[in-house]
Amino acid sequence: MTDQTSDVHLVRSHRPPKAEFMVYFTIIFLAALPLAVIATVLAVVKRGDLKTKGPIARAWSQARIITPMIFAA
C-alpha cells in the first residue's frame, strides 16, 4: 500500500476576506471597543503615561484574534 499522506503539500493562498468574515469582524470589533476604552483608561491611570496602546488598536487586535477562531471551529 502506498502512503499518500506523506506527499501532502499545504499551500495557502492569500484570498480576500469574505463578506461573512467581515461581518463577524465588525460585530466583534464593535463589541470589543467599549471594553478597550475602559482598559485604555485604566492603563493610563495606572501607569500615568499616554504611551499605551489606544482603544481602537486594542479592539482591532482582539477582533483579529477572535474572528479567525470562530471560523476555525
pLDDT at site 9: 60
Q: How far apart are CA 6 and CA 51, in angstroms?
A: 49
Radius of gyration for the chain, computed over Cα atoms and rounded to the nearest angstrom: 19
Give the domain extent around 49.
Answer: 19-72
Q: Is the pLDDT of residue 7 over 80?
A: no
Residue 31 in 3-state DSSP?
helix
pLDDT at site 49: 78
Count structural domains, the chain.
Answer: 1
Residue 39 domain-assigned (yes or no): yes
Residue 12 domain-assigned (yes or no): no
Residue 38 domain-assigned (yes or no): yes
The predicted-structure confidence for 17-58, as pLDDT tens digits, reads as follows 688 999 999 999 999 999 999 999 999 999 887 777 889 999
Q: How far apart are CA 35 and CA 28, in angstroms?
A: 11
